[in-house]
Amino acid sequence: MKNKALEQIGDNRYIINSLTGFIEFISVMSQKKYTWFRGQTDKEWDIEPGLSRIKRSPVRKKDSNLIQYIRYQTTDFNSAIDEAMDKVNNDPHYLEIKHLNLNKLQFLLLAQHYGMRTPVLDWTTNPDIALFFALDFKQIEGSSPIIYATNPKLTNWNSSVNIGGKYQYEIFKADNEGISNFVDKELKDIEGKENKVNSFVWPIALESTLDFSHRITFQSGKFTINGPKKPLEHVMFKDLTITPYKSKETEYYSISAEINSNDKELVLQLKSYLEDFGYTKENVYRLGDKKSRLLDELFLEIQNKHNNYPEER
């Protein structure tokens, strides 16, 4: 029997068996208002940023038998961002970047997009971009590419971030200096400190309304920021549930659609579809753009200098 184009195999899990199935998945997500997407090449990976993948250690809560897992050390990514900003502001080579007048948070988003390990995770409002990244890299034998969808407003409602005495249901704006300062302080508070927890126990969703990067703009880039630990260490972000605004029902933080990689013709068909609409490495990464090349050069240099991740104890 021929598989359905889109099969639902769980409350928040689907399998895509055809190009039509991919389009159906996007339609279902639109109806559910899960309109941010992310593609990954292996369904076994959690949806967490590079900095969150560094080893964690268990810490027993004071006067409690409960164990929480806190990162015992982080990279000095704050220093790396500060150094990159200083280089842009003082090196004539980066004058074109300096003229953008970016705040600290916008610079952090750039650093994420250009290869640094940060607490930021990339999302997109363009499902074709998510599909591109799910299929972009050489597939590891036995792995299955996957697309995740999330509802950014529900994400923020369920976060522990409280600004101005109220929790947020809207998407945070990276261009807002108050938001930038808040994020900067919170991230500095947790860097390299054991037992230190910040407001980002749950991811927060944010975006920029300014076109300060052709790469981010072409990719319809959106972002979530994670803190030093998960709500529960043994639970993956992709399996977490959330409570919608003014509702007693629960939803999932993410809904996934695995691409049936056993069907080699399907993978080729999806890649051909992407190429037909201009989703190539040159376009997605803006390889012909001078500003993108400058940023690649800058963050590669900074990343190599600050790439001192901890060894496992």
**The residue to which tokens 């994400």 are assigned:** 155
Contact 238, 148 (CB under 8 A): yes
Average the pLDDT over 273-287 and give the result.
Answer: 94
Select the more confidently predicted residue: 74 or 235: 235
Q: Is 55 left (phi over 0), alpha (psi -120 to 50) or beta?
A: beta
pLDDT computed for residue 25 by the predictor:
98
Other CB atoms within a 10 A radius of the CB of residue 108 amount to 27
Model confidence at 248, in pLDDT bands (50, 70, 90)?
A: low
Whether pLDDT at 313 is above 90:
no
Whether pLDDT at 195 is above 90:
no
pLDDT computed for residue 73 by the predictor:
43
Identity (one letter) of the amino acid at 155?
T
**Residues for the chain: how many in total?**
313
C-alpha span between 283 and 267 (Å, rounded): 20
* pLDDT digits 0-9 by tens, 115-163: 888 889 999 999 999 999 999 865 556 678 999 999 998 888 887 676 6
Average the pLDDT over 251-265 and give the result.
Answer: 92
∠ CA 156-160-166, nearest 5°, is: 75
Which tokens go with 297? 């050069």
- Alpha-helical regions (H) of the chain: 19-32, 77-90, 95-98, 104-113, 127-135, 152-157, 177-190, 214-218, 264-276, 281-284, 290-305
The whole-chain average pLDDT of the chain stands at 82
